[in-house]
Structure 1
Amino acid sequence: MKKIVDIETMTLEEENKFKNEKGFDLSFVIEELQKIPNAAKEKMNHSKKRPITLIEDYLNTKIKNDLLLVKRLLRVYFSAYTNEPINCILLSPTSEGKTYSTVQVSEIFPKDDVISIGRLSPTALIHQYGELVDPDGYPLKERLEKLELDIFNAESEQDKKSIHELKQIKTDMMKTAKNLVDLTHKIILFLDNPSPQTYEMLKPIMSHDKKEILYKTTKSDGSLSVKETIIRGWPATIICSAKNEAKNEVWAEIASREIILSPNTDVTKYHAANKLTSQKMGMPSILENNNNEKRIIEFYVERLRSSLVKLCVDGNPIVNPFYEMLADLFPHNEGITMRHFKRLLSFVNIETLVNAKSNMKIEFMLHERKEKKVFVVTSLKMIEDAIKILGNISTIAPEKIKFYNEVFLPLIQEKSTTQISLGEDPQRRLAETLDNITVTKEEAAEKFTKVFHKVITPKAIQEYYLKQLSDEGILDWKKNEDNKKQYLYFLSSKLSIHNLTTVVRQLNDRHDKDFLYVWSCLVKPFQLSCKMGKMIRIFDNSNSNITYQEFKKKISGSILDLHDNQGDKND
């Protein structure tokens, strides 16, 4: 077999040898191919920033005043290349920028990895994105094409016997064929909310129940025969929706499988977005386009993608010495907290992996395969950063929580002060009179306008905020006895959102008091796996070995070195 020459990674000696043997001068081609990698390296050296930060900076020029959403979406996208892809849903009213933001992020990722679809029918994914395979899972495309060519040639020669035999072979092949939809390392964007039936189909995929799921559907040829389809792998899914999904009959199950995000709705964002639009539409495109900048960012994305795929080839490559502490500290008072906890760890892991070059690592030798494996160590900094980026992990949309905290609660407190007598404890009095303090949709709309400096109708407030918070059990309502057409909203219970910053603080306290326990959590799994292999060393991003004391210092500190070389090469 001839060796394929990779001219992009060719050394000078190899280039000269190739030039002398083949008579080709590749210097111009190599120079062109190296322009983007060299520019990417120069950009990192000049900025002293990591690739993930440079990607965020670029997207923030496209998505105005929504820094947190950019960080969150990027992590969801990159999670597609790990063993635990993340699912999210963007909920907000129409024209708040959720679809625009999602599409902008998708444009810097490989086109083959992103599946963008509108309103999807339950079987559209099966019919549109699959390939035929034989019972052993091998693709049939080339064999079918060869059969078609053979049939064509036989028909040209009027060889009836061969035509019959070849068509029978094709028929037999199609009878046992299955449709394979491989969603490994894919990102599915639902630019419109799917139907409840599609949600039902997606549930086992989004739950990561099995690596392969068999679906049986009726063939579309009118024969009523059954077509078997295998869905392989788990994609990262992003759903954009402007509707009140709480009305969806399967919403509770879907919400437990997804992180709920919302774009920033501050008026400063609208102004910044309008300025960007006016710039795009008021100036010639050729003056604004910076293809080199986008190509550099795509280079960073591709290198991060390759790094993640390589790290996760054998499953989870993370060593989190705080895993036992996290499990103990995280709330565990109801069943849904199990999924909340997995959601948190997914973000901790992706944060650790996108910063893999800068984090400490463990080298492990597998005895049987005589192969070295590298695992990435999660630091307290990674946990803290993941919690800051993730924010709310409940199934209530962030936009609703913002309304509750900045509009409804202050309005209740303002109204309650008129009922508090001199000398009374306001907090105690507030707790005692919660059921008696009510808010109308008109009052909430007026307060909303004052807080966010944008006009909203009472009807919109009722539909998008008051009703949905009532559906979640956060608010309750009753009819006004003096006006039966008017609804009065009040607090039914305190909003229960896990304060994850408390978890970080407690982790820090435990780490300081009992570092030996943290160390034991790090080395114990490797000691138990001594028959499988041996932990060789712990090292940093400069490939220097880490001592016990250095590990103790760095596991709680910031990232080892702000400037990593992830965009320069892929180890």
Structure 2
Amino acid sequence: MTVTASSCPICLQELGEISAEGLENHKAYCRARETEEVTHRKQVADILCLTEPYSFDDVARVLGTTIKNDTTTKTILFVGMLLTYTDEEQINILMAAESAAGKSYLVLEVADYFPKDDVLKLGGASPTSFMHEASTGKLATWNEESKETLVNLERKIVILLDQPHDLLLQKLRAFLSHDEKEIVYKITDRSQKSGLRTRTIRIRGFSTWVFCSAALNYDQQERTRNLQLSPDTNLEKVKSAAWLLLDRQSDRAKYRAGMAANKDREKLRALVLDLKQSGVKDVTIPDSLKQEIHRQWEDTHQRMVPRHVRDLGRFLSLVKARALLNWRLRTREDDSIVATEEDYTDAWKLYSKVSVANELGIAPQVYRIFEDVIAKIGALDHGVTKREILTEYHAVYGRALQPKSLEKDVLPCLEASGLVSEQKISGSETMYYPHPLGGHLTEVIRDTKGTDPSGGGGNAPNHSGGAVEAA
């Protein structure tokens, strides 16, 4: 039996005479096609969304939904983790600041944008824990042929939330330096039957490491292997964090629902996953941009010292991270993309905010104490005592600095960097004298006032003096 249908109610196509069954089949086909088209349009829209230009400021804005202030610190944390998906550009980050500054909170909030399988969160680790990883565990496998245990940390983000000492960093120096993709360690294990036995452990990289610690005075070797960051602790940051905590704990379900529905957060997660699945493993810096970086670095580092080589490497990694954020907009050559001048400019702006403290080999928080307290009340011809430093610290920050922390952490770091020298005067306390930073300390202190305090470094200085060489 046939029915007369002037047109399909879905596609509006003229059908002429058609059976009832044929009409239903046609309508089912049209519905399926319509669903496919909607899905296709959504996929196109998603891709178009991922091809919108993305700057470091955009990253900071999105991260700001759960991390108030700390613009520089949270941005570098994110792009540092983003470098995990390259072959060799991974970096090590040391989050060094006083207790309750928000170190672990920042790291965990940033890590939330990355696939859970790529993130290894540890409360802490003993100095040789990675060498003793069980071969039946999640990270290690036993190679029967070579009689080795392989600990695979390739493209992992390893977070240590509380690392009270630097012994683990000392044991992993060769691995953290990227000397080789695979580093072999020989260790001894005690067996009940055989006594001491030697085991061979092969650790494979490269991976991104984030160490959180309240200790500020690390060995010089650890300082050069890590990019040091410190959360800000000024009044504005503390207030913002308190009101965010009030929102979250007043109604946790509502807070989580709001974060889950945030389109910007969803997009940033999509960018991370898109990069991971892209197959992009490296970023090429073209000759024209390489020459510009060479000129800029030489202009701002007129007397280069050995640690500047590692500092330059970290800056180049930031350039590449900026390109990776926009990999769909970059020229692609096999599994590599090409960086642009835009990437270089944005990376230099970000690096400049942490360059002073890091190139001196001190945590940004220590540098801020020097800037805001010691250099403020002292001078080359006018030293200050520990008591005066503690008093001024309380006046500036509204809280006390523990004398032990000043003696064991802050002052040794500043002395090692050349920013402070001490002189014991007979019959009185030790005096501490702030020293010029390559003859332009006054300019640096003046210029960094009013800039983002979370960076701890202000504008990149012209490192031409002895203080930097001492670092």
Letter in 2 for 1:94: S
- C-alpha separation in 2, matches of 1:284 and 1:198: 37
Q: Partner of 1:132 in structure 2?
A: 141
Provide the residue aligned with 1:218 in structure 2: 188
How far apart, in 2, do the equivalents of 1:27 and 1:131 lie? 48
Residue of structure 2 in register with 1:376 after alignment: 338
The equivalent residue for 1:401 is: 367
Q: Secondary structure, in 3 states, of the residue corresponding to 1:189?
A: strand
Residue in structure 2 matched with residue 327 of structure 1 by the alignment = 294
Q: TM-score, normalised to structure 2's length?
A: 0.73
Question: Structure 1: how far apart are the matches of 2:75 and 2:164?
Answer: 25
User: What residue in structure 2 maps to residue 111 of structure 1?
Assistant: 116
Measured in 2, the distance between the counterparts of 1:202 and 1:293 equals 41
Corresponding residue SS for 1:245: coil
What secondary structure, in the 3-state scheme, does the structure 2 residue paired with 1:125 have?
A: coil
Q: d(CA) in 2 for partners of 1:107 and 1:319?
A: 33
Is the alpha carbon distance of 1:356 and 1:26 closer, same or farther for their aligned partners in structure 2, counting shifts above 3 Å?
Answer: same
Amino acid in the other structure paired with 1:437? H
The 2-side partners of 1:278 and 1:334 are apart by: 47
**Match status 1:178 vs 2:148:** yes
Q: Aligned ranges for residues 120-159 of structure 1 at < 5 Å?
A: 120-126=125-131, 127-128=133-134, 129-134=138-143
* Deviations, residues 187-241 of structure 1 (Å, cap 9, x unaligned): 1111122654422331111111111112233356544433322211211111111
How far apart are residue 319 of structure 1 and its match?
2.6
**Residue in 2 that maps onto 1:389:** 350
1:54: Cα distance to partner? 5.3
* Residue in structure 2 matching 1:479, options 424, 431, 444: 424
Contact 2:152 2:203 in 1 (8 A): yes
Match of 2:215 in 1: 243
Q: 1:231 to 1:460 in 2, by over 3 A?
A: closer
Which residue number corresponds to residue 491 of structure 1? 434
Q: Give the CA deviation at 1:309.
A: 6.6
Cα pair 1:439 1:488 within 8 Å, conserved? yes
Residue correspondence of structure 1 range 287-436 to structure 2 within 5 A = 288-290=256-258, 292-293=260-261, 297=265, 300-307=268-275, 310=278, 312-313=280-281, 315-319=282-286, 321-328=288-295, 329-330=297-298, 331=301, 332-359=303-330, 361=331, 375-379=337-341, 381-390=342-351, 391=353, 392=355, 393-394=358-359, 395-412=361-378, 434=380, 436=381
- CA deviations on 1:141-184 (whole Å, 9 max, x unpaired) are xxxxxxxxxxxxxxxxxxxxxxxxxxxxxxxxx47443222222
Letter of the 1:57 counterpart = R
Instruction: Tell me by how many angstroms 1:105 deviates.
Output: 0.8
What is the identity, as a one-letter code, of the residue corresponding to 2:188?
T
* Counterpart selection for 2:74 from 65, 70, 95: 70
Residues 1:36 and 1:449: Cα distance change in structure 2 (over 3 Å): farther
Query: Residues 440-455 of structure 1: matches in 2 within 5 Å?
Result: 440-455=385-400
Q: Aligned AA for 1:375?
A: I
Larger deviation, residues 493-502 vs 268-277: 493-502
Please say if residues 36 and 296 of structure 1, whose CA atoms lie closer than 8 Å, have aligned partners that are also in contact.
no
| In structure 2, C-alpha distance between the alignment counterparts of 1:51 and 1:37, rounded to whole Å | 23
Cα offset, 1:278, TM superposition: 1.6
Residue identity in the other structure for 2:431: L
Cα separation, 2, equivalents of 1:196 and 1:459: 19
| SS of residue matched to 1:489 | strand
Query: In the aligned structure 2, how far is the partner of 1:285 from the partner of 1:310?
Result: 34
TM-score, structure 1 as length reference: 0.62
Q: Which residue of 2 aligns with 1:525?
A: none
Task: Label 1:441 to 1:324 Cα distance change in 2 as closer, same or farther (>3 A).
Answer: same
- Distance in 2, matches of 1:297 and 1:327, equals 36
* Cα distance, 1:130–1:43 mapped onto 2, change above 3 Å: closer
Secondary structure of the corresponding residue to residue 321 of structure 1: helix
After superposition, what is the alpha-carbon deviation per residue over 1:461-518, rounded to whole angstroms, capped at 9, x for unaligned? 44443343123332112334333xx322113553689997578xxxxxxxxxxxxxxx
Instruction: Name the amino acid aligned to 1:487.
Output: T
Separation in structure 2 between the aligned mates of residue 311 and residue 260 of structure 1, nearest angstrom:
30
From 206, 209, 230, the equivalent of 1:262 is 230
**C-alpha distance in 1, partners of 2:336/2:149?**
36
Structure 1 match to 2:99 = 94
Q: Cα distance 1:296–1:67, how it changes in 2: closer, same or farther (>3 A)?
A: closer
2:54 aligned residue: 50
* Residue identity matched to 1:56: A
State the one-letter code of the partner of 1:67: T
Q: Is the 8 A contact 2:183 2:202 kept in 1?
A: yes
In structure 2, C-alpha distance between the alignment counterparts of 1:204 and 1:195, rounded to whole Å: 18
The residue type paired with residue 407 of structure 1 is V
2:139 alignment partner AA: G
1:439, distance to aligned residue in structure 2 (A): 0.7
Equivalenced residue count is 403
Aligned twin of 1:228 = 200
Q: Distance in 2 between matches of 1:93 and 1:252?
A: 19
Q: How high is the sequence identity, in percent, across the aligned residues?
A: 23
- Gaps in structure 1 of 5+ consecutive residues: 1-18, 135-173, 365-371, 414-433, 504-571
Identify the range of structure 1 (26-35 vs 252-261) with the bigger mean alpha-carbon deviation: 26-35
Calculate the aligned-residue CA RMSD, in Å. 3.8
